[in-house]
Amino acid sequence: LRQATKATPRRWFMIISLMLLFFVTLPFFLAGHWWSLLLLPQLAWVTIANYWHDGLHFSLSTDWRINAFLPYLFPWLSSPLMWYHQHVIGHHAYTNIDHKDPDLAHAPQLLREHNSIKWKRSHVHQGNWARILFVWSIGVGLGLQILNDLKTNLKLTYNNAVPFARPTKSRMVAHLLGRLFYMCSLFVWPF
């Protein structure tokens, strides 16, 4: 039963292979090879989707420390600390329940994804491709990753739905270093 609920050796091989492919492709991306511009983001997404989510649900390894550590290798999807609150604690405990599921109100000023969000004039064109691209590129990259993180730490609640306990100093230092790495690797270093 224990092995049935955790990653098999075959799955671990796949995850490690994807990570290695990502890191092997990275120097070509940095050197400006055009093909890597297409391949690297795909590898990053497939790699993250295959271990990050499962690790943060503590369903990848039988050792909780491995599950807790691995998501920090690829911190570009979200802060693991914020993900625990937003997805694991908030969304899974209160899936689609008004004012309790934080997924229902990520960007209510831009998108109305649930009836619990009061309709605004800005929602008229939310199906427009320009709006969708804006939300998924800028809104997620800066809004969900940085602004939501900042609001959560200041208000001690995630998206006004999930209580957030103030982290220990060491956890906060690790969290801030991870966010600094995220910002530098995506918004400073490439430019």
pLDDT of residue 109: 79
Residue 85 pLDDT > 90: no
Higher pLDDT, 141 or 12: 12
pLDDT of residue 34: 92
| Token couple for 86 | 């937003």
pLDDT of residue 190: 67
pLDDT of residue 1: 47
Q: pLDDT tens-digit profile of 11-69?
A: 999 999 998 999 999 999 888 899 998 999 899 888 888 788 888 888 888 888 888 88
Residue 3 pLDDT > 70: no
Contact (Cβ atoms closer than 8 angstroms) between residue 111 and residue 125: no
Q: What is the DSSP string of 86-149?
A: IIIIIIHHSTT-TTT-GGGGSSTTT---STTSPP-GGGTTTTSHHHHHHIIIIIIIIIIIIIHH
| Token couple for 66 | 């491995």
Higher pLDDT, 163 or 103: 163
Angle CA(61)–CA(22)–CA(181) in degrees, nearest 5? 80
Q: pLDDT tens-digit profile of 94-110?
A: 898 888 888 887 778 78
